[in-house]
Amino acid sequence: MNAIEINSLTKSYKDFTLNNITIALPEGMIMGLVGENGAGKTTLIKALLGIHPIDSGSFTVLGCGDPRHNKPIMNDIGVVLDGNGLPSQLTVKEVSRVLSDIYSSWDQAYFDSLCTKLELPQNKKCFELSRGNGMKAQIICALSHHPKLLILDEATSGLDPVVRDEFLDLFLEFTRDEQHSILMSSHIVSDLEKACDLITFLHKGNLLLSEEKDTLKDMYRMVHCPKKTLAEIDSSAVIGIRENAYGAEAVVKKDAIPAGMESFPADLEELFVLMVKGELKK
């Protein structure tokens, strides 16, 4: 079963359209949403949560087409949105008391253990927390009711590399249960590269691709060569080019690379940046 299934989802605003998005996140997997600012990542997440109604298409979250009005389903979803929404005047401990009354499956012992593990002070008011600690508090709250699906919007931004690493380990541990899945958007592509099984690229509201990370890395290679040499490659196989004084770097479909031409594995960041640049040229 898919934890999230989206078919031809379209949502329009005055100056932006999330256009015809079709993706699926199978249970037990982590999907990374990659896109520049304004690409539509948050819009997609808010549409999935029913915060903003969609114009056309359909979606299911944990098998439900309208999660917002289904309390048991919302009980199985943990969400972290960009920007702290916890009650600013309450302490972290008091927030846990509030949420324990809202979530039927709230686990106070687990909450306390995560706070201890991640060194989050429980007696501080939320407005006194640093951005990093605020994000920690939100992530801990999202995990403490044992959700089946985590939806994270820029959840690791603002955290130092050590804490980010701890969270990524926590997310990996979370998806060890085959029924647990994560949809996470981030600007920090290296985090997604480390944690995700599936990668989805969004650009200006359009879906560029949605593939398994390993397949993606296997499909494309980086080529560093003089500009003239690039001409030997079928142009339709060249996804994006970055030119500099020493020649050119290009992301190319692996099958189209001529024999003998040196190529390197492409990391996700390069792949995304060059893909977007390729799209812009079109």
In the complex with another protein, the residue whose CB is nearer, 53 or 260, is: 53
Task: For residue 261, give the amino acid letter.
Answer: M
Compose the 141-180 pattern: x for residues touching another protein by CB under 8 A, - for all others. ----------x-----------------------------
Q: Hey, what amino acid is at 153?
A: D
Q: What is the dihedral of CA 9, 35, 203, 1, to 10 degrees?
A: -30
Between CA 233 and CA 200 the distance in angstroms is 26
Which one of residues 20, 28, 36, 52 is an interface residue with another protein (CB under 8 A)? 52
Other beta carbons within 10 angstroms of residue 146's beta carbon come to 16
Token pair of 263, please?
Answer: 């190529």
Among 1, 13, 51, 121, which residue interacts with another protein (rule: CB under 8 A)? 51
How far is it, in rounded angstroms, from Cα 148 to Cα 60?
A: 14
| 238 lies in the site for another protein, by CB under 8 A | no
101 binds another protein (CB under 8 A): yes
Does the protein bind another protein through residue 4 (CB under 8 A)? no
Q: Which is nearer to another protein, 90 or 216 (CB)?
A: 90
Among 34, 42, 103, 150, binds another protein (CB under 8 A): 103
Q: Does 14 bind another protein (CB under 8 A)?
A: no
Q: Of 89, 123, 235, 244, which lies in the binding site for another protein, with binding defined by CB under 8 A?
A: 89
Binding of residue 53 to another protein (CB under 8 A): yes
> Is the backbone of residue 153 left (phi > 0), alpha (psi -120 to 50) or beta?
beta
CB 9 within 8 A of CB 21: yes
Other beta carbons within 10 angstroms of residue 23's beta carbon come to: 21
Contacts with another protein by CB under 8 A lie at: 49-53, 68-69, 71-72, 74-75, 77, 79, 81, 83-90, 94, 97-104, 126-127, 151
